[in-house]
Amino acid sequence: MSIVQLSGLKKYFDAVHAVDGVDLAIDQGEFLVILGPSGCGKTTLMRMIAGLEKPTAGQIHIGGDDVTDLPPRKRGVSMVFQSYALYPHMNVFNNIAFPLKAQRREKKFNKRIIREKVENTARLLEIDMLLDRRPRQLSGGQRQRVAIARAMVTQPAVLLLDEPLSNLDAKLRANARDELKDFQRSSNITAVFVTHDQIEAMGLGDRIVVMAEGKIQQIGTPQRIYDDPANEFVATFLGSPSMNILSSDGFRFGFRPEHFLPKTLHDSPENSRIFQYYVKRVEYLGSDRLVYGYIHGHDNDLTLAKVPSNVRVSLDIEGDYEFAVHNSDIKFFDTRSGQRIEAQNLAEAV
Amino acid sequence: MIARAHPFDSRRVVGALFLAPALLYIVLIVGLPFLLAIAFGFSDVTVGNTDLNFVGLQNYLAVWENDIFRQVFETTVRFTLISQIFILIFANILAIIFTQNFTGKWFARFIFILPWATPVSLAMIGWLWMLDTKYSPIDYLLLQTGFLGPNGILSSNRNLFWLATPDLSQISVIFVQVWRMTPLATVILMAGLSSIPTDILDQAEVDGSRFMRTLLQIKLPLILPIMVIALLFSMITMFGDMTVVYVLTRGGPVDYTRVLGLYSFQVGIEGGNLAQGAAISLFAFPLLLAMAILMLRTASRAEVR
Amino acid sequence: MGLLGWILQNFWSLLVILFLALVALRIAWRFHRYGANRAELSYILRRSPFYLVVLTFCFFAAAPFLIMFMHTFKTDGDLYRRPQPFVFRQEPTLEHLDALFNNTAYLDFIRNSVLVGIAVVLITLLLSLPAAYALARLTGRWGERAGILMFLVYLVPPTLLFIPMFRIVVLLGLKDSPMSLVVVYPSFTVPFSMWLLSGFFKAVPPELEEAALVDGYNRVEAFLRVVLPLSLPGIISTIVFTFTLTLHEFIYGLVFIANTSQRTLSVGVPTELILGDVYFWQPLLAAALIIAVPVGLAYNLFLDSLVQGFTMGAVKG
């Protein structure tokens, strides 16, 4: 059952079409990641779900109710901001209690209930020893937990997270990602997570929504989006280094650098497409070698290969080699629209 | 639960609700008198006879053809312009001084702010004594150093009569205006200087720029708009001021230090001719408006960040 | 008179000695810290013209106040007969200070000014706190226009408005009452503090208000519970500067109120302590100085905050 339903959602800022017709259903208990480059409208989309922006057109339903015209506080959502937006004049306890106090009259919360709820949530996030501190006395990781605690304490229908990991340093970030995922799974809350970081998106999301230019490009599991991109944008946006794209007559095709390997490494060369590959430069990345070069007949398109280091094939600069890609790893795109075309017979035309 | 939006949830409603009382109050307390001032200007109202009778442009014409008014207007413009030159020079120097770190800065700043912090009319009492015809401490110093007295260089008299001769009274008023207005201009310039991003100054330092070069080629050009604002701000303040001359000279000797505000006070309130007093002060309005608009245009173009 | 008398009689020498002692101490401290070597000495020498400039400006700014201070304690004989303004030839006296507080309406002036100031500050905050927030965050382009209009109003000088305002004050029956000032002063304090406050409000990160909205509060509550407490330092400095604005005002106070006991400080002192041609110089100068010093201290204390508010207010939001 979908808990959030977006239909025909649009947001125009004068001439800028930040969100340009989005339809999306978010399921109860899922971890949905909205992924896209900066300026793709992902943050605007989330702010519309939160109620911080009014849509130009379209409807938002949360828990079956039309909330399009409701203010944030009436939507049963909560949000973790990129900067965490902890109230600097309140200690951690009061920060977490702040949303509860807003509902005090409506839900008949007394002081004791509020204290209980705050302490329970704090214990869950292992910040119960920090309750007397002010936000500025906390580390980045602690601040993030407080922000999540404040968002969780009212047991919202949906938890919105706006790039909450981007303020943490790299080491903390991997750890925080794990914890966030565990926490979401154990509390079974519906989470919508906005990010421009594909590793975060792949690691966290049950499903990923890839956005560009205000529109949804593809929705699917991380694996589906990676292996089976719907269009050229999704194909090139995910993966690092990104997919090689080459032009051919009437269409374009692409394959990932890790699938582009010396012919001798392929077990079934008959199911593979073989290319003459001229190596220009080799970078050693530890576990992999990143090879830069050109395929014969495509002299304008720099093509990359990612060869595992443990493969003992010597690759010399300015040498010519035979490289191959498995047929199923080649994706085809329409030249004009960029959409995927499923056409086995095209493989022969490459 | 029937969820409905409260008016307080709407940005528009709360914005209007928050702005309305202040706007209303200002329109009533400033707009109304302003319209009344214009109406007075077209009437024959006096303190004794409060009926508004329409007399057309009579007041304005009478004011315009009045030689004293012309002289007063000229004096006001002259005082304002001359004092601005000095204010701008001193304010720039002081703003640069007070955006540096140095020993005793707090105390120095306190001293230098005093002329601005002291209510004008009270500060003028100090100057009234400093410039006193008979007891002026300045005269005493000049006398002791041989500038005054029987064989004095400046005058054979024992006193210069700071507020009693045509030239000196004007110089005195301008000096005192510079003295009290410089801190305000300085503070505005300090705001400008402190808003220059440190990156830019660091870059200049890395590029090998020394103090004077950074000042002349980076800081001053960057705060030029703020400087224009400071200038216009103190011009407008000074143009509308009458307190300094009210306490120091009452416009004398003869009419040499009479400025527009004081003249309108003397005609309108002391002389009881409200209509003509209003007409006099209204003559300042177009000029003030022009300065204000110029200032706002500069401000909107000023993007220091 | 004791200590004060001794200080006054040796005023200038003490001032010079104190200054030199402080300079010597500072130099000694630098030598102690960085070593008494040639480089340090040349640094101090290079720095000294700067301090000379500062000192010159300070002297010009302070001169009238120093004279005020000394003359407060001079006897009439010392002041008027063969005057030597920079020294005491007769024993300093407190009689003029005593006269100022006990034989003049000075205390009335102070009381009137303080009461008017407090009332105006309250009205100003009530009107300008929400209005400034509306300008900073809630209203879009038309709010910006309203803000510019308000600022133009602040620039309209009292000399332009005091005549019609006088008529209105008479009509309201407030002539000769400090209440007239309470009604009229917001005409310039409200635009001033709106401008300053909107600068402080713009400095509050918008996410904090948005967090409050998501956390279950409406816009009014978000303003009261998050924005106001966070802007407290700015609000305090706005209060200080609003209060001093009312303390400074002269023209309205002069025109609206004619009876001595109802006048405010800025009007009462220069008009009531001068009887025709008779100037009561020592009480006059004392009366001015007693107000100048605390206001100057307050300004200095809150100057950084004012500069910050000014900068933020000037930056388009």
Q: What is the ipTM of this complex?
A: 0.88
- pLDDT tens digits, A242-280: 999 998 878 889 999 999 999 888 877 778 888 999 999
Please report the pLDDT score of residue C316 as a whole number. 41
Average pLDDT over residues B165-171: 91
Task: Please provide the DSSP assignment of C214-228 as one string.
Answer: HTT--HHHHIIIIIH
Q: Which residue in the block uniquely carries the two structure tokens 């006070």?
A: B265
Query: How far does the CA of residue C305 sit from the closest CA of chain A (Å)?
Result: 19
Distance CA A151, CA A76 (A): 11
Greater model confidence, B90 or A346 = B90
Instruction: Please name which of B181, B243, B218 lies closest in space to residue B96, comparing C-alpha atoms.
Output: B218
DSSP one-letter string for B234-274: HHHHHHT--HHHHHHTTT-STTTT--HHHHHHIIIIIS--H
Domain of B184 in residue numbering reads as: 67-301
Say yes or no for a CB contact (<8 Å) between B269 and C166.
yes
Query: A66 touching B, CB under 8 A?
Result: no
User: What element of type H or E holds A334?
Assistant: strand A331-334
- Spatial contact of C69 and C289, defined as CB atoms under 8 Å apart: yes
Beta bridge partners of residue A193, listed in sequence order: A33, A161
- Residues of chain C contacting A87 with CB distance shorter than 8 Å: 208, 211-212, 226, 230
The pLDDT assigned to C317 comes to: 36
Structure tokens at B229: 């604002």
The pLDDT tens digits of the residues spanning A174-223 come to 888 888 898 899 888 999 999 999 999 999 999 999 999 999 999 999 99
| Section B84-112 average pLDDT | 91
Contact residues, chain C, for A71 at CB < 8 Å: 213, 218
Q: What is the DSSP letter of A287?
A: S
Choice between A167 and A283, residue whose per-residue pLDDT is larger: A283
The nearest alpha carbon in chain C to B229 belongs to C314
Q: Would you call the peptide bond into A241 cis, given omega within 30 degrees of 0 as the criterion?
A: yes
d(CA C134, nearest CA chain B) in Å: 5
C284 torsion bin: left (phi>0), alpha (psi -120 to 50), beta (else): alpha
- Distance, in angstroms, between B201 CA and closest chain A CA? 27
| Tokens 């400046």 sit on residue | B154
CATH architecture for the domain at A2-227: 3-Layer(aba) Sandwich (3.40)
Q: Residue A344 has what pLDDT?
A: 61
pLDDT digit string (tens) for C156-176? 888 888 888 988 899 899 999
Residues of chain A with CATH 3.40.50.300: 2-227
Cα(A299)–Cα(A293) distance, integer angstroms? 9
Say yes or no to pLDDT of B222 above 70: yes
| B window 2-41, beta carbon within 8 A of A | 3-6, 9-10
Sequential DSSP letters for B11-34: HHHHHHHHHHHHHHHHIIIIIHHH
> Taking CA C152 as the corner, what is the angle to CA C146 and CA C156, rounded to the nearest 5 degrees?
140
Specify the 3-state DSSP secondary structure of A59.
strand
Would B297 be classed as within a structural domain?
yes
The band of C16, judged by pLDDT with boundaries at 50, 70 and 90, is very high
In contact, C70 and C4? CB cutoff 8 Å: no
What is the end-to-end Cα distance of chain C in Å, rounded? 58
Cβ–Cβ below 8 Å for C292 and B117? yes
Strand partners, A17: A12
Residue A149: closest C-alpha in chain C: C215
Other C-beta atoms lying within 10 Å of the C-beta of residue B142: 20
pLDDT tens across C40-94, in order?
Answer: 888 888 888 999 999 999 999 999 999 899 888 988 888 887 777 888 888 888 8
The answer to whether C291 touches C248, Cβ cutoff 8 Å, is: no
Distance CA B154, CA B160 (A): 8
Q: What's the alpha-carbon Rg for chain A, to the nearest Å?
A: 24
8 A C-beta contact, residue C288 and residue B125: yes
Judge whether B151 lies within some domain. Answer: yes
From chain C, the residues in CB contact with A79 under 8 A are 210-211, 214
Q: How many CA atoms lie within 13 A of A347 on its CB side?
A: 18
Q: What is the rounded distance in angstroms from the CA atom of residue C255 to the CA atom of residue C135?
A: 34
Q: What percent of chain B has pLDDT over 90?
A: 29
Structure tokens at C205: 């990160």
d(CA A326, CA A330): 7
Is the pLDDT confidence value at B4 over 80?
no
Assign a CATH topology to domain A242-349: OB fold (Dihydrolipoamide Acetyltransferase, E2P) (2.40.50)
Residues in chain B: 305
pTM of the model: 0.87
Secondary structure (3-state) at C64: helix
CATH 2.40.50.140 location in chain A: 242-349
Tokens of A60: 């938002």
pLDDT at B304: 41
- Give the pLDDT score at A119: 94
Length of chain C: 317
Q: Which residue has the higher pLDDT, B182 or B273?
A: B182
Per-residue burial over A141-153, b = 16 or more CB atoms within 10 Å of its CB, e = otherwise = bbbbbbbbbbbbb
Neighbours of chain C (3+ CB pairs under 8 A): A, B
Residue A77 forms contact with C (CB below 8 Å): yes
Of A65, A67, A71, the CB nearest to B9: A71
Residue of C nearest to B29 (CA): C187
pLDDT band at A168 (very low <50, low <70, confident <90, very high): confident
Write out the H or E segment, with its range, that includes residue A34: strand A31-35
- Which whole-number Å values give the CA distances from A350 to A106, A252, B9, in the listed order? 66, 9, 59
Distance from CA of B36 to the nearest CA of A (A): 43
Closest CA to B88 of B192, B232, B202: B232
H-run or E-run covering A277: strand A272-284
What's the pLDDT score for residue A346?
A: 60
Sheet holding A57-62, edge to edge: A16-27, A2-13, A57-62, A65-66
In a domain, B145, yes or no: yes
Examine residue B61 and state whether it is found in any structural domain, yes or no.
no
What is the C-alpha end-to-end distance of chain B, expressed in Å? 48
Q: Which of B162-166, C161-165, C263-267 has the highest mean pLDDT?
A: C263-267
Strand partners, A248: A251
Average pLDDT, chain C: 88
Q: Of A286, A290, A283, nearest to A305 (Cα)?
A: A290
Q: Which of A70, A74, A75 to mutate to test the interface with B (most CBs of B within 10 A)?
A: A74
Q: What is the pLDDT of residues A5-47, one digit of tens each?
A: 999 999 999 889 999 999 999 999 999 999 999 989 999 999 9
Number of domains, chain B: 1
Interface of C with A (CB under 8 A): 205, 207-208, 210-218, 221, 225-226, 229-230
What is the per-residue pLDDT across B25-82, written as a single tens digit (0 to 9) for each? 998 888 888 888 888 888 888 777 767 778 878 888 888 888 889 999 999 999 999 9
The residue behind tokens 């049950």 is A206
| Contact between chains at B195 and C315 (C-beta distance less than 8 A) | yes
Domains along chain C?
Answer: 2-93 (no CATH), 103-314 (1.10.3720.10)
Cα–Cα distance, A326 to A28 (Å, whole number)? 38
- Asked if residue B56 belongs to a domain, the reply is no
Write the pLDDT tens digit of every residue in C113-132.
999 999 999 999 999 999 99
Domain CATH code at residue B204: 1.10.3720.10
Kindly state the DSSP code that residue A197 receives in the 8-state scheme: -
> CB neighbours (10 Å) of residue A273?
17
B24 is a domain residue: no
What are the φ and ψ backbone dihedral angles of A16, each rounded to 5 degrees? -85, 120
Indicate the DSSP class of residue A153: T
